[in-house]
Amino acid sequence: QVQLVESGGGLVPAGGSLRLSCAASGRTLSRYAIGWFRQAPGKERAFVAVTTWSGSYSHAESVKGRFTISTDNAKNTVYLQMNSLKPEDTAVYYCAAVLPGAQMTSRRRYEYWGQGTQVTVSS
């Protein structure tokens, strides 16, 4: 089992930056990749980025060049650095755990989820 706790959300003006953290724990944690998803009101939960603990990562096209996923293996923590934020980035951001393999951008593949953290970008 894997436990995930997000933090770092908040209110930021357009063009600003935030860094989200996902603190992970669990005996089988090393087997899992960690992804970030976001869900805006009235919309489906959408893939943002995913990384393995060995540093293989992928970002959604909509955030490439602005968001960066990274890990601190000593702290079992995954970060999402978000720069040049836009109002359309406003959403609840979730981290989740998935066994590496095909379709890692699909939320249905993910087994464990955190409780989410709100990010609001004002125009």
Report the pLDDT value the prediction gives residue 117, as an integer from 0 to 100.
98
SS3 99: coil
Distance, CA of 65 to CA of 86 (rounded, Å): 13
Distance, CA of 51 to CA of 36 (rounded, Å): 9
Distance, CA of 4 to CA of 36 (rounded, Å): 11
Report the pLDDT value the prediction gives residue 98, as an integer from 0 to 100.
97
Task: Tell me the average pLDDT across 87-115.
Answer: 96
pLDDT tens per residue, range 34-90: 999 999 999 999 999 999 999 899 999 999 999 999 999 999 999 999 999 999 999
